[in-house]
With several copies, the nearest count.
Chain A
Amino acid sequence: MVKVAVVGASGFTGGELLRILLTHRNVELEIATSRTNAGEYLHTVHPNLRGLTMLRFEIPNIDRLTKCDVVFLSTPAKVSSELTPKLLESGIRVIDLSPDFRLKNPDEYRRWYNWSHPYPKLLEEAVYGLPELYRDRIRSARLIACPGCMATAAILGLAPLAKEKLIQGDYLVVDVKIGSSGAGLSRSLSSHHSERANVVRPYAPAGHRHVAEIEQELGKLGNPVKVGFSAHAVDMVRGILATCHVYPTRSLDIKDLWKIYRGFYRGEPFIRFVRDRKGLFRYPDPKAVVGSNFCDIGFEIDEHTGRIVVLSAIDNLVKGAAGSAVQCMNIMFGFDETEALRIPSLHPV
Chain B
Amino acid sequence: MQIKCPECDGDIPVPEDVVPGEIVPCPDCGSEFEVYLGSDGSIELKPVEIEGEDWGE
Contact = CB atoms under 8 A, between A and B. Distances in A.
Interface of A: 148-150, 178, 182-184, 186, 188, 190-191, 203-204, 233, 254-255, 258-259, 262, 273, 275-279, 282, 316
A204 B57 contact: no
A203 B54 CA distance: 10
A277 B29 contact: yes
For chain B, which range describes its interface: under 10, 10 to 19, 20 to 34, or 35 or more residues? 10 to 19
A17 B55 CA distance: 23
Given A186-B54, A259-B9, A275-B8, 17 more contacts: A148-B57, A149-B57, A182-B56, A182-B57, A184-B56, A184-B57, A190-B53, A190-B55, A203-B55, A204-B55, A233-B55, A254-B8, A277-B32, A278-B30, A278-B32, A279-B30, A282-B30
A233 B9 CA distance: 30
B31 to A, nearest CB: 5
Instruction: Summarize A's interface: helix, strand, loop or mixed.
Output: mixed
Contacts, number: 51
B30 A273 contact: no
Interface of B: 7-10, 25, 28-32, 50, 53-57
A148 B31 CA distance: 31
13 contacts: A178-B57, A183-B57, A188-B56, A254-B7, A255-B7, A255-B9, A258-B8, A258-B29, A275-B29, A276-B29, A276-B30, A277-B31, A277-B32
A129 to B, nearest CB: 16
Contact of B28 (A183, A188, A273): A273
A150 B7 CA distance: 31
Contacts of B55: 183, 190, 203-204, 233
Contacts of A182: 56-57
A35 B7 CA distance: 43
A249 to B, nearest CB: 22
Nearest to A148: B57
B30 A258 contact: no
Contacts of A273: 28
